[in-house]
């Protein structure tokens, strides 16, 4: 006699003998429904969910025939449901006992060395641990496959580089100060050359043609002295500004922290 026939007979008896039996019949309708759902799930290879339904109808509240059939299904599932043993290691081969494992996006609890039940079929397994690059593996489990070992070798992430040291503080002296200092040196040198040349030409003119020297000779001597004066003035101004810039360097501007 099938479970449905047994249940129909029980309902007739419950109608004849009162409410307590009616309540029991309602419970056992749920038990039979759980049995049928478990069978359908098993045919679709959803063995983990099928195990939940058969566990429900194997409880003490269900009638003995229902419990018996559900118990037999649970025994068969315990042989058919695949199990996998997950593990993780580093490149040196040392076990990473605290690595996290997820199957098809769902975190699984892995006891050290223990097996995890999974449905038959294709699965995506992800291993993660701080300090290591995550690793994804694909596997196909089969009905009745027991304690399949899946071990991942995780690669350590490179150590973080130290933060670069800040550049040394600038002296604050503007490059323009060095340019002016150079201009001052050049001007002073030009003054010395022109002044010396002008003195030499004037001395030579006094010895050879004074007091009736040609106008061109006088202009040449005068031009050298004017050039010497201009060079000296330029050298003095440039040196003065450069000295001020060296003695009063600009301070580097600091950005306020917020």
pLDDT one-digit tens code per residue, 127-181: 999 999 999 999 999 999 999 999 999 999 988 777 777 776 666 677 777 787 7
Q: Note the pLDDT of residue 183.
A: 81
- Residue 71 neighbours by CB under 8 Å, 6+ apart: 54, 58
* CA distance to 84, 85, 151, per residue, from 125 (Å): 11, 12, 11
Rounded Cα gap, residues 181 and 185, in angstroms: 6
Residue 122 has pLDDT above 60, yes or no: yes
pTM above 0.85, yes or no: no
Give exposure, 228-255, as e/b (b: 16+ Cβ within 10 Å).
Answer: beebbebbeebbebbeebeeeeeeeeee
Asked which of 25-34, 117-126, 249-258 is least confident by mean pLDDT, the reply is 249-258
Whether the pLDDT of residue 13 is over 50: the answer is: no
Structure tokens at 68: 């018996």
């Amino acid at each position: 006699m099938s479970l449905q026939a047994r249940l129909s007979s029980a309902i007739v008896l419950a109608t004849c003998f009162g409410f307590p039996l009616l309540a029991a019949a309602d419970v056992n309708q749920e038990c039979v429904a759980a049995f049928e759902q478990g069978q359908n799930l098993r045919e679709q290879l959803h063995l983990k969910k099928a195990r939940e339904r058969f566990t429900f109808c194997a409880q003490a509240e269900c009638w003995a025939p229902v419990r018996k059939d559900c118990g037999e299904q649970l025994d068969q599932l315990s042989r058919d449901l695949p199990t996998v043993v997950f593990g993780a290691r580093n490149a040196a081969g040392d076990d990473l006992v605290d690595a996290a494992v997820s199957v098809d996006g769902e975190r699984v609890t892995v006891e050290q060395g223990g097996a995890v039940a999974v449905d038959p079929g294709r699965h995506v397994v992800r291993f993660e641990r701080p300090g290591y690059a995550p690793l994804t593996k694909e596997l196909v489990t089969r009905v009745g496959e027991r304690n399949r070992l899946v071990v991942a070798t995780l690669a350590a992430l490179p150590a973080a580089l130290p933060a670069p040291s800040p550049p040394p503080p600038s002296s604050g002296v503007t490059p323009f100060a060095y340019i002016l200092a150079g201009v001052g040196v050049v001007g002073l040198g030009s003054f010395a050359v022109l002044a010396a040349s002008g003195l030499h030409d004037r001395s030579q003119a006094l010895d050879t043609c004074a007091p009736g020297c040609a106008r061109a000779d006088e202009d040449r001597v005068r031009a050298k002295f004017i050039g010497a004066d201009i060079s000296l003035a330029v050298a003095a101004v440039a040196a003065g500004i450069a000295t001020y810039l060296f003695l009063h360097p600009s301070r580097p501007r600091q950005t306020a922290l917020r």
